[in-house]
A and B are shown apart, each in its own frame.
Chain A
């Protein structure tokens, strides 16, 4: 069965304290792994898509990496505005639906 597990559930960081969020997945043929940011009361906002093991993508203070079993979202020198819930999802080759993890709630303290 296709599934996604994210850890930790919650993470509190001091401003400038770098860390990583984990997304472990099992999927029958990966089409893509997606990272989204979700702010309270809003829909998921797209961050990255990764398609194959070894791929990396960067955007400002965020960097996403992918292996055959997991993905990491690295946050370098975070700021309070990075506080949000970060969601990981996988899309299988068969079908267009996404399988989401439950997210990591990140709080960055000034």
Chain B
């Protein structure tokens, strides 16, 4: 039973490019959450999605960031026109309905050069 799968593990982008981070939840999990971990800071909630629905995006920056969880395929966190301040580790978690079995992936480390 594979855990939460995130790819790529490492991503390097130049300023102004787009970054796409993917997350496949655990089997049987229908809820996906994205968190960002900046150096020397704790994990900060960004967005909570179910299939084809954004439930809570209160932690998402208003510009350049978007997330989706389509009917088929992984959840995608998209960052447009990346800046150096976007460099961080982005973690995805998934859970069953009601929040049980909350499990984190290994993260994608984004470096903007």
Name A residues whose Cβ lies closer than 8 Å to a Cβ of B: 4, 31, 34, 36, 41-46, 87, 89, 91, 95-103
Contacts and interface: CB of A to CB of B under 8 A. Distances in A.
B8 interface: no
Given A43-B91, A44-B91, A98 B43 contact: yes
Interface stretch (B14-22, B65-73, B79-87, B104-112): B104-112
Per DSSP, chain A at the interface is strand
Given A43-B104, A43-B105, A97 B42 contact: no
B42 A101 contact: yes
A97 B56 contact: yes
A97 B40 CA distance: 21
Given A98-B102, A100-B43, 19 more contacts: A4-B42, A34-B102, A43-B105, A43-B107, A45-B104, A46-B104, A87-B43, A89-B43, A91-B102, A96-B98, A96-B99, A97-B33, A97-B59, A99-B45, A100-B44, A101-B42, A102-B40, A102-B41, A102-B42
Given A43-B105, A46-B103, A91-B99, A97 B43 contact: no
A97 B105 CA distance: 15
Contacts of B45: 97-99
B95 interface: yes
Contacts of B106: 42-43
